[in-house]
Each structure stands twice: as structure tokens, then as C-alpha cells.
A and B are shown apart, each in its own frame.
Chain A
């Protein structure tokens, strides 16, 4: 069946009038599905609101001086989360001290010195490391820092947290460094400043705020991690300040332990500690991400 150019195409010609409507089914489907996407959006918001609301309400009710200043009671039920708060502060701080230089320096290599393929490979490795379940990081740290010494210790806890923080710091720093204009580097080198000083004093300092952002996000993440600490720092009912060779409590561990106890008093303490932890994490995240809210995420 030859089709010549001057014949109209198919047998059913479209009506000419502009009052031609798109058929009802298509219009209804369009409106319905678009409405469905809005509904999906709302469904996503609900758990967020619910979590924040319940944690705040139950948590605030449980906050009192005891919770903040006392360790768990030696006998019976009571006391507070002081051990956990101090423990979290210490372990996260040490983890930060370990992870930030490592993360920044390794990202410097990726952004300043590595060839494209090596850089891509290291980025990939960092992303893969970030995807390793944190409980496995805990087991790994257990095998190298707890097992040989036959002793649960807070240092191992910090190391586990540092391992989790490292790829986060690397990736966020690396992206910030990529934004520093090449002309800045060239100007510094042209003045005779050595490479390493150029990188540290000029490039890193220029990207400082962005790097700080990444660090804060990593800190918030580390503060909320439980699983890596389960087999390293273990947790404790005693206040531990400065003894890295012994177990140490942490807020997430405290929450976990007290949530599973059959005593409402302890459950309430879990809510209180959860509120503190969530508050910290949310404040950091909102402060950090809120500043870049106008820009594309990543």
C-alpha cells in the first residue's frame, strides 16, 4: 500500500475545532496522579513530625537536673545520663581529632595531587566505605583494638567513630576544594610559596567554612551512632573521664540500654537522652544545611 505525500495520513483525522478537549481519561489521570504525588509528599512528612514531636514531648518531660548531672544509680533504678553525656563528648571529640586531619589531608591528595583515575578510585573507595554498615565497622575495630587487649575500651570506640567520619570529611572537603579557583593556587605558587604551604594556608583556608560544614555534619553523624560503640566502648554505668583504656558510656548506648529495660523510670531517661541527642543532631544539621538551602543539594 503505497503512501503518497499528498494524502492525509491515517484514516481518523483530528477535529479542527479548538474546543477539542483532551479526552477525559487522560485529564483525570493527570490530575489524580499529580494529586497522588502531593499525598506521597505528605506521607513522608508525617513520620518526621511524629518522631520529633514524641521525642520532644516525652523527652522534655524527663529532663531534670538529675538526668544531666548524675550517673546511673549503682543499685536500683534512678540516676541520670551524666556518664553518657561525658562519654559522648569525649569519644566524639577524639574521633574528630583523628578523622578531620586524616579526612582533609586525604582529600587534599585527591583534589590537588592525584591524577583523574586515582582521584576517581579514591572517591569511589570513600563512598564504598561510607556504605559499610556501621555495625561491621564496630566488629572490625573490635578485632584490632579490643580483642588483642582483651579489654573493651573507649579508645576503640573513638577509632570506630573516626572510621565512620573519615569518608564523610573526605568527600565534603574534596568538593569544597574543587570550588577554590585555580588562579588562587597559581598566584601563590608564582610568589614562590611552596606547594604544601599553598595548599594548607591558601586553599584549605579559603574553603574553610565549607570544610567546617562537612566536619560538623560528620560530628553530628558520629554523635548519633550506636552500633560501632556496642563492641568497642561497650557502655558503662560509671562516669569515665579520660580513661581511654576502659569502657565508656555514650548517649546512643544509654538510650539503647534504657529503652529495653522494663522500668518506666529508665524508659523516661531514654526519652530524655534521646531528646538531647536529637536536639544536637538537628540543630547541627539545620544550621549547616540551612545555609546552603538555596543551592543545589551537593
Chain B
């Protein structure tokens, strides 16, 4: 056999260039699809809810307090209030605990403990919402009713905020269960942000004669401040959009809560419980309008939060 007698392969492989070009177009199209999907979601929700916006006006719908299917009056306020109140309550409970835990995991825990503990927190985030809701109905709720809520009503019941009756189902239970669910979010991001603080900052404060806690509060946390803010806002965003666990323990009453223990409703729980029975037309349109409001709030918060986190770490942690 003589070498060199094989025909030289064609140098202009037009077919292959086409294949390459096609491949790039395909992948680019799919990548653009993500953006397209986002736009499509916003557009579809707006289109299918326009009847409501046209009937009540944006301000009218957002401030309306009545949701009356029979008479065709729809107002979003009770659900907006319920959503905000449950989420804020969840934040108030979760944020301090989460930040302290993140400090522990990032600064104080011995190495052999820190890794498995962080791992355990992430596992909590993986448990499906409906499973936590089930546990909420049959375990958490009776527990809260007989311990925390009973105590609070007994001691502070004269204040309207703490007035009973407390059934274990309601605003408070929803806040607690949401707090449990957003803990991992706030913890993992805060932890990453704290780890990202340069060691030189810690050493600088230590060399001045500071205790470990002083190093944390005076050098580490101020540096990580905006990132931790971002973590909290992302937690808030997660709480706002959380549906199943909240629906199962909130009581599902269309009313602005007048006490910590009243039954109420969030946007997500309202949609979840009534969408399928809703009649096509203004009712469905109004439920979708509620969804649009929720979309607006969560999207805005999400964007703000990610920008804040990016400022400290230079990148956004993936698992949120």
C-alpha cells in the first residue's frame, strides 16, 4: 500500500458548515426561548385578565375589598394584604434565625460539622410543599394551637392583634410554615455571601483586639450587608409565591385578617382553591388578574435581590 494516494477530502465542506450554522441557530433559538417564555407568561396573563382590568380599572381592582362572585364584584385587596402579611410574618420569624444560622455555618462551626449541617439545610429545601402542608395540617397546626397560640391569646389577648379564638389554622400558622420553608433560601445565600468576605477584613479587626463576635458584627456583616439583604428579599420572594403549604393551613377565608390568628387567604391560596370551579368570564379573568399582581411583585423583588447579591459575591448562587 502506498501512502499519500488517498483522495484529499474536500476542503470546502459546505454541508458541514451548514450543520454547524444550523446547530448554533438551534441552540440560540432555544436559549432565546427562555426569554420568550418569560415574555409569553407575562403577556398571556395580561391578555386573559384584561376583562377584569377593563371593568374595574387597575387601581379599582387592587384596592377593592369585595370578592363577590354572585354580584360580579372583584377586588384584590384582601388577598394582597393576606399575601403580604403572611410573607412578612414569615420573614420576621425566619430572617433572624437564618442569619444567625448562616453566621454559625460560615464563621463558627468546625469544619467537620459545617459541611453536613449545610447539607442538611439544603435537604429541607427539597421537601415538597404539599408534604410540608400535610404535616402542617395534622402536626404543626394542633401543636401551635395548644402551645404558642394558646399562650399568646391568654397573655396578650386584650390586644386586638393577639385576640382569639385561635384554631391553629390561620395567618399565624401560615407564617410559621412559610418561615420554615424560606429558612434554607436565606441561609444558603447568606452563608455564601459571608464566606465571600475577604479574610483580610477579619484579620484587620482581629489585630485590633476584637472578640470573634465583634469581628463578625463590625467587619464581616457590614461588608456582606447588601448580599444578606438580597438573601432576605429572595426569601421574601419565595414566601410570596409559595402555594400549597400555605393553602393548607391558612383557613381560606376571604377576609382581611384582624388578628394574628384569623383565617385568611393569600393570592396563591385563593387561586389554588377557586380556580377550577370558577366560571369562565369575569371570575376566571379576575383570578388570573390576581396572578398577574403576584407575578409583578415577585419578579420585581427577584430582580432587586439578585442585583444585591451580585454586588457582594460577584455572581449569583445557583440553588435558590
Q: Which residue of B lies closest to A221 (CB)?
A: B126
Say if the beta carbon of B119 comes within 8 Å of chain A: yes
> B131, A277: Cβ atoms under 8 Å?
yes
Which one of B132, B243, B316 contacts A133 once the chains associate, using CB atoms below 8 Å? B243
Majority DSSP secondary structure for residues of B touching A: helix
Report if A293-B26 is in contact (Cβ < 8 Å); known contacts: A51-B127, A256-B244: no
Q: How far is the CB of A47 from chain B (nearest CB, A)?
A: 5
Query: Which residues of the other chain, B, contact A107 by a CB distance below 8 angstroms?
Result: 31
CA A37 to CA B96, docked complex, whole Å: 10
Inter-chain CA distance A277–B26, complex, in Å, is 36
Question: Residues on B close to A: CB < 8 A?
Answer: 16, 19-20, 22-24, 26-28, 30-35, 37-38, 40-41, 44-45, 47-48, 96-98, 100-101, 103-105, 108-109, 115-124, 126-135, 137-139, 180, 183, 187-188, 192, 209, 211-214, 234, 237-238, 240-244, 248, 268, 271-272, 275-276, 288, 291, 294-295, 298-299, 302-303, 306, 316-320
How many chain A residues touch the partner (CB < 8 A)? 97
**Cross-chain contact B180 with A128 (CB below 8 angstroms):** no
> Does the CB pair B40–A135 fall under 8 Å?
no
**Minimal Cβ-Cβ distance residue in A for B97:** A40
Q: Let me know if A43 and B23 touch, CB within 8 A.
A: no
Query: Which residues of B lie under 8 Å from residue A271 when comparing CB positions?
Result: 134
Within 8 A of B (CB), among A213-265: 220-221, 223-227, 230-231, 234, 252, 255-256, 259-260
Query: How many contacts A-B (CB < 8 Å)?
Result: 273
- Name the residue on A nearest B23 (C-beta): A196
Please name all residues of chain A whose beta carbon is closer than 8 Å to the beta carbon of B26 when the two chains form the complex.
Answer: 105
In the assembled complex, the Cα of A125 lies from the Cα of B320 at a distance in Å of 14
**Residues A137 and B41 in contact in the complex (CB < 8 Å), given A126-B34, A172-B318, A255-B130:** yes
Chain B residues near A282 (CB, 8 Å)?
123, 126-127
Are B34's CB and A281's CB within 8 A?
no
Measured in the bound complex, the distance between the Cα atoms of B272 and A230 in whole Å is 7
Q: Which residues of B contact A231 (CB under 8 A)?
A: 275-276
**Are A259's CB and B268's CB within 8 A?**
no
CB-nearest residue of chain A to B306: A127
